[in-house]
Structure 1
């Protein structure tokens, strides 16, 4: 089976490609910059330079493709214009799926985000049945991913011959974080005697677990179904404690008051009002003040999602950053 993976330089996509190659798939990685690709050359891997927003970047590849894993996305939090997110995360996603239909591609795996569904507490975890909740309903990124997800589902209902599976990972930690993206949270603890942490929490997952579940979904995923990929639900303090333990580092932990974070968020909104690009906003700080927790029950049962300790993912991330 030949698989096209978009956004091949990303944390999850790189790990997906590694798993595909381990399982003897033939892979084409679509990416913008071949020089930043983290894996070694492989006889079953071809890197193709292209732009996901341009159909002619990939359309000629699709007649020989059996499966598309669409991991490319615009994730930066400093963008203040929704249309910029929309072009990549919704419109380009829809166009790629339409091209897949035209070329009779058998499988289309869309990598979305868990925040398209409603989060919950430890006593009532978020799942695939709960609609998006505030503050993510105000997040330009989450809204654009949800728009892309909904566009695909509308198309897929009338096109059962191209199986659509939507996968919704939470916060991923592990190797090959070249930007870095989520690994910035690990790096933020390095050599810090005092660690300031927000009052909320996240659902974390070892990126290897997420990648294996993505590849499993080629065979095990059900048409038009969504699966949340998550691991451990931790407060930010608990996560930082795990990081500093891996670093053999003694740190003190100080909780940032919610009112202070909100004040910073209002300043960010003011800067954005004057068209200043910043990843600080009221919505973004509000996400730091909630327990953004999810259940992985469906993915465990249907996709054989493993749940390795997030300690392993943190260890892998630290080792990779030190080497690179």
Structure 2
């Protein structure tokens, strides 16, 4: 069996080599992302592996035309793929899972950095201002944390937070007993009105689009902290900026933002970025921005490569595939 892996990064090489031997398959590594200019590289491959490049209907049509039967994205999210088009023409699509500790650990770090005003502390220290002005933080045991989404990552965040003796509220369409040991399930409105910190761990779906918007922010406590290590589309960026400027929002820590696809994971030094909201957010002393790196650990990269390979194998063998997202 042969798989073509687009958008191969050097940090993935060791894992591709390891799992090619383990599963006795061939993976051809391509450093470039899939485009209409290089789509024909996939000719002769029934399975391809990608990362976060937009796979639109035109690309899907072309992949189908040259014989691709399955697209595996080495990410949990798959909103960059035109799933509707894939279903229409019969191309299978799969995602992957990876170590939940990667994003959960990062989320805790972001919560602590936001509530302890770490950006302001670091920036002041960098210009040799060692005064205490404007850097007084908060302690977690005095705060209520609202967790939106109690799937694998959300549950791990809750488990980690339990050691901080903080009160936790949770919201999810599907409640689970493990979460109830540490957090109280409440309505989304109750979570908005009662939380000092709100962290999101839900996928980018139509129902979750702009989950945090002007109306939701109005319900929140004054000085609320908003943490997002999930998907940028969960937050209406203009409304977030307005909430920060009006001092309704006390701080934000964002590993993801809207319209990040053409920016993150690229070296853009010296270039004008086509994302005005990013520039505004970067200017705030109480906003921490990181370039979608919450997932990025050695264990997670290994998992992403292995699960993408396994997903392709299971699809081709007609076996049950836990990562397949199309029916």
TM-score, L = length of structure 1: 0.38
Looking at CA atoms only, which structure, 1 or 2, has the larger radius of gyration? 2
TM-score, L = length of structure 2: 0.38
